[in-house]
């Protein structure tokens, strides 16, 4: 046999062995991971094989809400170096963060226009692919509360809390409500119905023991679950006599008050006003403010009512009668010499129904009477209660026989009316 023939046969055998080797390994994918030391030297090589196409056994979680980004794990086999994709409109695979032989971790976003229903997640390697369904659910609503935060005393008394949804629904929605730790607080309802087109619904919660827990608002049929913090704490009344308070960066400092004598000095910082010394209020004293601060229209001698109105951010002093040394600093914006009330909640009440109106504020225990005046001139004197700390008034308001329209809540003390800190904060609407 000639040398040329021998060479030809040798090459033919080599090609046949290569083809046989290719087909013997075409149903597996070998993957090598190199491990380096700090100097860049290879210290080990880890080799695994995908013995076939991916096989998905489960996806966790099995759903995603619209307008949301979530992390997911695919469990299965042959998942090393797998790629994740989707063809569902509105779904986008953001990144694959980690893969192993049996897990793939990735992030997924859903736009607000993603079709509600079933979508598809696909996992692929070089040998093939497998798909699994994913449920696209409605967006999780943003829910605020009034009052916020939900702060209760451990007295077992029910307090009405409004749940304020950021968007209304096209149809009635039923939500399950529960408290995570019923040793700390309880909720009277097990479910509430938010009417179509409405954004507010109420629950009744009572504090039992001091501590923190969660109000759960769930609609599991639509994969919605929201938790709101509930704080139960003992009241902290101030002791009698002179008290000192620490301030936040913005506000007012009244650092000294003396009995009437000679002059009055008021200086202003960048935001707010500092009253370093006030003396001799024998005549009207005028203090004007710049961009933010306080305007004192008139100050009368101690033991009479002192009225100070504010512009922008600042303070309202409604009464000051103790001509002794006092030190009082503000909360976030401004300081209030009480009593003062915030806005009435809820702002809307249904006609021919009974509701509890809530008013937060300071020194509300000085309130001696509550009246509600409607647009047609009707004046009601509802039953009201004030908590021991003087920070909240509960008003029982019966709208039976009243006409739809606006109404004004009026608070008075033994000597004067109580101002509201927010413009038109005392106005509510009676509606059908």
pLDDT in tens, 200-216: 999 999 999 999 999 99
At residue 326's C-alpha, the angle toward residues 324 and 331, to 5°, is: 155
Chain-centre distance of CA 221, in angstroms?
23
CA gap 370, 364 in Å, rounded: 11
Determine the pLDDT at residue 20: 40
Longest CA pairwise span in the chain (Å): 134
Structure-token match 């919660």, residue found: 205
Tokens standing for residue 385: 């209660």
Determine the pLDDT at residue 75: 95
The C-alpha torsion from 60 through 64 and 68 to 70, rounded to 10°, is: 10
Q: Look up the pTM and report it.
A: 0.43
Structure-token match 């914006």, residue found: 333
Residue 277 DSSP symbol: E
CA gap 146, 390 in Å, rounded: 18
Determine the pLDDT at residue 383: 92
Determine how β-strand 173-179 pairs with β-strand 191-194: antiparallel
Determine the pLDDT at residue 149: 86
CA gap 340, 353 in Å, rounded: 28
Regions of the chain with pLDDT less than 50: 3, 5, 7, 13-25, 247-249, 251-270, 272-336
Determine the pLDDT at residue 93: 94
Tokens standing for residue 304: 């009479």
Determine the pLDDT at residue 30: 60
């Amino acid at each position: 046999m000639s040398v040329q023939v021998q060479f030809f046969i040798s090459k033919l055998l080599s090609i046949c062995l290569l083809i046989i080797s290719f087909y013997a390994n075409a149903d597996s994918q070998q993957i090598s991971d190199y491990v380096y030391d700090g100097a860049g030297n290879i210290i080990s090589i880890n080799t695994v094989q995908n013995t076939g196409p991916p096989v998905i056994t489960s996806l966790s979680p099995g759903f995603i809400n619209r307008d949301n980004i979530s992390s997911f794990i695919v469990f299965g086999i042959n998942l090393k170096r797998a790629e994740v994709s989707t063809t569902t409109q509105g779904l986008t695979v953001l990144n694959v963060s980690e893969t192993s032989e049996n897990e793939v971790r990735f992030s997924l976003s859903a736009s607000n226009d993603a079709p509600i229903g079933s979508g598809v997640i696909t996992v692929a390697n070089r040998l093939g692919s497998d798909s699994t369904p994913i449920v696209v659910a409605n967006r999780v609503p943003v829910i605020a509360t009034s009052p916020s935060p939900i702060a209760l005393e451990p007295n077992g008394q029910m307090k009405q809390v409004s749940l304020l949804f950021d968007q209304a629904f096209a149809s009635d929605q039923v939500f399950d409500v529960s408290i995570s730790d019923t040793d700390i607080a309880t909720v009277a309802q097990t479910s509430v119905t938010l009417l179509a087109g409405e954004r507010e619904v109420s629950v009744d919660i009572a504090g039992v023991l001091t501590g923190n827990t969660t109000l759960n608002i769930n609609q599991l049929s639509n994969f919605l679950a929201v938790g709101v913090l509930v704080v139960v704490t003992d009241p902290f009344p101030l002791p009698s006599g002179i008290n000192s308070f620490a301030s936040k960066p913005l506000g007012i400092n009244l650092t000294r008050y003396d009995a009437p004598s000679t002059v009055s000095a008021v200086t202003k910082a960048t935001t707010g006003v500092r009253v370093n010394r006030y003396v001799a209020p024998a005549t009207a004293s005028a203090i004007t403010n710049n961009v933010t601060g306080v305007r004192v229209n008139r100050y009368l001698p101690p033991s009479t009512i002192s009225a100070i109105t504010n512009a922008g951010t600042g303070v309202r002093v409604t009464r000051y009668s103790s001509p002794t040394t006092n030190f009082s600093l503000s909360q976030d914006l401004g300081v209030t010499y009480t009593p003062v009330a915030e806005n009435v909640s809820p702002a809307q009440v249904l006609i021919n129904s009974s509701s509890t109106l809530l008013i937060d504020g300071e020194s509300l225990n000085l309130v001696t009477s509550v009246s509600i005046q409607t647009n047609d001139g009707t004046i009601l004197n509802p039953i009201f209660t004030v908590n021991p700390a003087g920070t909240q008034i509960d008003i029982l308001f019966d709208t039976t026989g009243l006409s739809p329209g606006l109404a004004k809540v009026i608070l008075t003390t033994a000597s004067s009316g109580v101002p509201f800190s927010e413009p038109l904060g005392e106005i509510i609407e009676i509606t059908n």
